[in-house]
Amino acid sequence: MDALLIAVVVIVIGLIAGKVSENRHLGSLGQREALFKDVQVTSLRQPTAPAAQPVPVLVCGEVVIASDAFKSWASGLRNLFGGEAKNFGRLYQRARREATLRMLAEARRQGYDAVCNVRHISTDIGGNAVRPQNKAAPMATCLAFGTAYKRT
Amino acid sequence: MRENGFLKEEMNMIVVNTEYVNGYEIVEVKGMVQGNTVRAKHMGRDIAASFKNMIGGELKGYTELLTESRREALSRMLQQAQELGANAVVNVRFTTSAITAGAAELMAYGTAVTVSPKQV
């Protein structure tokens, strides 16, 4: 009975705190993406109209975002019914946007104003090092990398 | 002396994601080079992560771990390129794989080449 009560409390905390944290993060992402509107970001394999100097360079950005207790619990229900796991989709979406923003910040810090050949790699490093069987808590990782160059 | 995880010689190398470097032409292709690192999670960070796993949000400890891994993998790749006598690495790609629950491998690979500035 006690264990059930604690579990319910944890899940409710997860629901509330998770929602707050997600909304705050989405707001922050929107704000910062507006700051980078002048940077041209493409997945094209060659730079468009590049300047000769400075030499293009590889830039990377990465982030690890944890999912909250409610999402982890609800995904267990999803396993019963199937269908699109929108919660985790949003989690990876946030991780991807955050990693891309960090990559753009690094490009701007080094004095470039465009990034081409952008690729994203996502993994889940959830699972406990101490108790490997506990895989219920996904941690979304995204590594974004591309070639930064200066436009003429 | 390592600065930002890279040796001085490595920092002079040109590293790009694209197939060629703008303003430079490829003189010689040396071969494929790679660098990888396998990192296991740290118990201290894991305990902090358990709390974050309840409320959600970014795991700064693990992000730093990933940044270190990325620098280490790139550094090893550049070391291999240096041994081949190259001065640039093109077409760099990253790939990850989970080894066990709790350890992940990050690998960077690319093609080591010798480039020289294009004569206009």
Do the chains contact at A14 and B55, CB–CB below 8 Å?
Answer: yes
* Closest listed residue to residue B111, CA positions, set B87, B98, B120, B100: B87
pLDDT value at residue B43: 67
Do the chains contact at B56 and A14, CB–CB below 8 Å?
Answer: yes
Q: For chain B, what percent of residues have pLDDT higher than 90?
A: 49
* d(C-alpha A26, C-alpha A29), whole Å: 5
Best of B45, B50, B66 to disrupt the A interface by mutation (most A CBs within 10 Å)? B66
Q: For chain A, what percent of residues have pLDDT higher than 70?
A: 91
In A52-91, the residues whose Cβ lies within 8 Å of chain B are 52-53, 55-58, 60, 62-69, 71-72
pTM (two decimals): 0.87
Q: pLDDT for A48-84, tens place per residue?
A: 888 878 899 999 999 999 888 787 777 777 777 776 6
Based on its alpha-carbon atoms, the radius of gyration of chain B, rounded to whole angstroms, reads 17
Average pLDDT, stretch B2-10? 62
Do the chains contact at A64 and B42, CB–CB below 8 Å?
Answer: no
Amino acid at B95: T
Residue A150 is encoded by which pair of tokens?
């200066």
Do the chains contact at B53 and A123, CB–CB below 8 Å?
Answer: no
Complex ipTM: 0.85
Nearest to B57 among A21, A46, A60 (CB): A21
* d(C-alpha A25, C-alpha A58), whole Å: 27
